[in-house]
Each structure stands twice: as structure tokens, then as C-alpha cells.
Amino acid sequence: MLKKKSGLNLKVLVPVFIIGILVLSTIGFILGQNTEQQTEITGGVVKYGGFEFYKTQNDKWVVNVGGKQYLFDYSPDELSSINVPYFVVPDRVYLLFEPVEKDNNMEYAFTKLYSTLSNLGKRAVFACISEENCPDVPIKDCSEDFAFYLKKGVEEEGSVEGRVFIDQNCVVIEGDAVGMSKAVEAVELRILGV
């Protein structure tokens, strides 16, 4: 029997969370699918790590890795200042979050990361880092299985730059909206071997 937690209506929260996962999965599938169509290129080309990144009409960047196209919001040059430590992604990986921190920017970052992992045949599972306000997903921490933990950075003066570091079995991706987005894309480059 479910208990009502601090006035939170679980009958509303669980369906909203499930719908959110479905929407994110659909977006991830669209962004990362192996398509016969080529993205329209506007002329900008950046060579980075032996790969060519092409600038699209909507100022995104596309790279072809293993016959699949991956879309980035930032050029690899804009991401090169983010230090990403070495890690190996197992076949099953958790995507950890603190429920009270989750917002649209974090959802977008999760979508990109989930899409990249799925395209590489990795099974990504959403999980909470704490029990408070957690929807019906597993509760995990960094002491157990391998995970990517997206968390908001603490703003001291202005924006929080994205950063990536290892904490036990977690690759922690931290920053404000822009910083987190850049850090996730830097992690995607590492995952893709770029």
C-alpha cells in the first residue's frame, strides 16, 4: 500500500513521470536514430579527434560515428575546456538524479545522454539518488552500480560552469543549465570515442 508523502499525490506524480519518460524516449529515438537522410549542412566544418563535425542550418553540430549521426548543441572546440576523466560504460548503466533538482534542462540533458547510450546498445535505467519525492524508479547511490549522476551545481557568483568527475562508481556531471548541457556533451564525446 502506498503512503501519501507530505501531501504529494502519487496518483498524479507517477503517470506524469511515466509520460515524461515516454516523451524523452521518443525524442532520444528521433535525435539518435540511424537515418538514411543526411542533415542539411550550411558549410561550417570542424575537424576534431579524427572526426568531422558539420554545422547545420539551426546552428547545431552533427558528427557521424559508426554510421550513425549524433547531434550536438556545441562545437567540440567549445567543449574542449571540460575535463572528462576516463571511464568505461558497462552494458547497463543508471542515470541518477535528485528528484527535487529535476527540471526541463536536466530532462534535456538526460534525453541526450540516454539517446547516445541507447544507440551504442547500452541499457540506461533512470534512478533516484534519494527517496524523498522519488517517483516509481529504483533508488541507487554511487557505491553500487556504474551510473551517470546529473546534479545542479551550487551557484556562487553567476553561472556554474559544467564539470565532470568520478565519485566511487559514478560519473558526476554537474553545472547550471548551460554548464550541465556542455558537460553532458563532453561526456558524450568521450563515450563515442571522439
Mean pLDDT by 10 residues, the chain (194 residues): 49 54 52 41 78 92 94 93 95 94 90 95 94 91 94 68 94 92 96 94
pLDDT value, residue 39: 40
pLDDT value, residue 17: 57
- Cβ-Cβ contacts under 8 Å for 170 (sequence gap 6 or more): 96, 142, 146, 147, 148, 149
SS3 18: helix
* Residue 155, domain extent: 10-32+83-192
Residues 108 and 126 in one domain: yes
Counting the structural domains of the chain, the total is 2
Residues 127 and 72 in one domain: no
Q: Which helix (H) or strand (E) segment is 172 a member of?
A: strand 170-175
pLDDT value, residue 152: 86
pLDDT value, residue 111: 94
pLDDT value, residue 144: 86
pLDDT value, residue 65: 94
Residues 64 and 127 in one domain: no
pLDDT value, residue 96: 95
Residues 133 and 174 in one domain: yes
* Stated pTM of the model: 0.75
Largest CA distance in the chain: 59
pLDDT value, residue 52: 94
What CATH number should be reported for the domain holding residue 104?
3.30.379
